[in-house]
Amino acid sequence: MKILIAYFTMGGRTKKTAEAIASALATHEVSYFPVEITGKFIEKIKLLDKFENKDFSAIETELNILDAASYDLIIFGMPTYGNFPPKAFDEILARMGNLSGKKAIVFNTARFTGGKALEYMKIKVEEAGAEVINQRKFRKILWIGTKNAIKFGKQINEK
Ligand SMILES: Cc1cc2nc3c(=O)[nH]c(=O)nc-3n(C[C@H](O)[C@H](O)[C@H](O)COP(=O)(O)O)c2cc1C
């Protein structure tokens, strides 16, 4: 299967989780669509603020070439911001267009909650036409490990 992992990360936890899942997808061809907010704290906050106000000009080039057509399975990985995924999630999904006939998996990372955000992701991905075949919340208050993500990746790999 051709798998696309679309993720957003500001602190690295979602990226780490996405890469741990991918490490277990040994029999599949995996590509990434990463949206990473990097740099100094103040720069990160400024860019996050832009994104949350639906200004995606900083990643317009990447979004323009985003093409989900050739993938069988799309995995969406997002952090949790106030019980929702970041606005970049909605933008990535909108840019993918109609996902009819595709399979999808949603996961999120969170410190305290996350369930509501994951449900939101599932509903939106289904509205785009994909069949959500699995979902997982990775919730850790402090250090997020890779054990559960690798286990989740193995489950996906064997299916
Ligand atoms: C602005 C902001 C809002 C957040 N809101 C929540 C929240 O509502 N619930 C929660 O459990 N964690 C919340 N968190 C924690 C992040 O979801 C969590 O640390 C996530 O794993 C970060 O992923 P990242 O390191 O890939 O950016 C929030 C973090 C930030 C920066």
pLDDT at 115: 86
Structural domain boundaries, residue 113 = 2-158
- Percent helix, percent strand, percent coil in the chain, to nearest 5: 40, 25, 30
- For residue 80, report the distance from its CA to the centre of ligand 1, in Å: 5
- For residue 63, report the distance from its CA to the centre of ligand 1, in Å: 23
Say how far apart CA 123 and CA 75 lie, in whole Å: 14
Q: How many domains, the chain?
A: 1
CATH of the domain at 42: 3.40.50.360
Say how far apart CA 76 and CA 137 lie, in whole Å: 12
Q: Model confidence over 30-48: pLDDT tens digits? A: 999 999 999 999 999 999 9
Which tokens is 56 given? Answer: 């995606």
Q: Model confidence over 61-101: pLDDT tens digits? A: 999 999 999 999 999 999 999 999 999 999 999 999 999 99
Report whether residue 135 contacts ligand 1, using a CB cutoff of 6 Å. Answer: no
- For residue 100, report the distance from its CA to the centre of ligand 1, in Å: 30
pTM above 0.85, yes or no: yes
Which tokens is 114 given? Answer: 């996350």
Say how far apart CA 119 and CA 105 lie, in whole Å: 12
